[in-house]
């Protein structure tokens, strides 16, 4: 029998606040690590080429496409996935609530990217223009909504943020 001999790497990652120590093949993407090793299936596979954004996570406060991020390069990184936006008691963050109230998604497959990119946008720019919103979400394809309700949801989230509600659960 022929074997694909694999190098493994030990990584330490803080994901949604919890520390994980994992031994993984060197070629493993962060997407596969989240989905296969940690059962965090809220992060989705849409293309594996970095074009759709369904696999978006936040790494040390910046959004990244987990399908083209090698997990082995991320020693000690702090990662937030879509699961990390909801509070422990199941309460939605203000942003999630805005997406729900405004039907900012249909099938929801694109939701990880839309939500995490908006979190980053609002952290860096609490009062974004329409053009800012379009730029922040440009890396994320949605095939269902036609984007109208996504814009509306982001704007609703801006209003609630201004009123002082927190963006995401810590």
Partner 1 sequence: MGDQKPETEGYVGQSVRTIEGRAPIMGKATYTNDINFPGQLHAHILRSPHAAANIKSIDTSGAEKVAGVVRVVTGAQAAEYIDPIPHYIDPAVFGGRSATIRCLALDHVWCFGQPVAVVVAEDKRTARYAVSRIVVDYEVTTPVIDAEDALKDDSPMVVPGWDANMIMQIPFGGGDVAKAFSSADRVVKTDVKVHRFSTQPIETRTYNAVYEAGTESLTLYGTVQNPHPLRHVLSKILRMPENKIRVHAPVIGGAFGMKMHGHPEEGLVCFLSKLIGQPVQWVEDREECLLIGAREQVHSVELAVTKDGMILGLRDHYLANTGAPSSCPGWGMAMLTGLTMPGPYSVQNLDVQLSAVVTNKPGWNASRGYGKEVTALALELSVDNAARELGLDPVDMRIKNFIKKDQFPYDSPTGLIYDSGDYEGVMRKAMDIIGYEDWKKQQEEAREEGRYIGIGVGFELTPEGGTLPGTLVAGYDSSTVRVAPDGSVRILTGVTTPGSGNPTGIAQIVADELGVRLDTIEVVQGDTTTCPYGFGNSSGRSTIVGGGSAAKAAIEVREKIIKVAAALMEVGESSVTMKDGIIVSGDKTIGLEEVCYACYTRAYDVGSVIDPPLEATAMFKPGLVRHTPNEKGQINPYPSYSNAAYVAISEVDVNTGEVKLLKFSVAHDCGNVINPILVEGQACGAIMFGIGAAMAENITFDENGRQLTKNFMDYVMPRIGDVPPITLAHHDSPNPVNYKGLKGAGEAGVGGSAAAVVNSVNNALSPFGVMMTETPLTAPRVWSAIQEAKKAQPQRKVA
43 binds partner 1 (CB under 8 A): yes
Helix axes 111-124, 148-162, angle to 10 degrees: 40
Least separation in angstroms between residue 18's CB and partner 1 is 15
Tell me which residues in 91-150 interact with ligand FES (CB under 6 A).
105-110, 142-145
Give the one entry of ligand FES, partner 1, none that residue 137 binds, where binding means its C-beta sits below a cut-off of 5 to 8 angstroms depending on kind: partner 1
By CB under 6 A, name the one of 22, 47, 70, 92 that touches ligand FES. Answer: 47
Whether 22 contacts 13, CB under 8 Å: yes
What is d(CA 78, CA 65) in angstroms, rounded to the nearest whole number?
15
92 in contact with partner 1 (CB under 8 A): yes
Min dist. Cβ of residue 112 to ligand FES (A): 10
Facing residues of 65 across strands?
56
CA distance 12 to 75: 6
Residue 64 near residue 117 (C-beta atoms within 8 A): no
Beta bridge partners of 59: 62, 79
Q: Which of the stretches 40-48, 58-66, 69-77, 120-128 binds partner 1 when contact is defined by CB under 8 A? A: 40-48
Is residue 111 within the footprint of partner 1 (CB under 8 A)?
Answer: yes
Q: Which residues bind ligand FES (CB under 6 A)?
A: 45-48, 50-55, 65, 67, 105-110, 142-145
């Amino acid at each position: 029998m022929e074997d694909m001999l694999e190098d493994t790497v030990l990584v330490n990652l803080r994901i949604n606040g919890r520390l994980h120590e994992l031994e993984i093949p060197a070629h493993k993407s962060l997407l596969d690590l989240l989905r296969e090793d940690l059962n965090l299936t809220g992060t989705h596979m849409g293309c594996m080429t970095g074009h759709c954004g369904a696999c978006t996570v936040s790494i040390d406060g910046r959004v990244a496409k987990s399908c083209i991020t090698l997990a082995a390069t991320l020693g000690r990184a702090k990662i937030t996935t879509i699961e990390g936006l909801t509070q422990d008691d199941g309460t939605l963050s203000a942003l999630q609530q805005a997406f729900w109230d405004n039907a900012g998604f249909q099938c929801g497959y694109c939701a990880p990217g839309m939500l995490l990119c908006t979190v980053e946008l609002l952290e860096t720019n609490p009062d974004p223009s329409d053009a800012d919103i379009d730029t922040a979400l440009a890396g994320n394809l949605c095939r269902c909504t036609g984007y109208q309700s996504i814009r509306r949801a982001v704007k609703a989230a801006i209003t609630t943020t201004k009123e002082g509600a927190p963006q995401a659960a810590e």
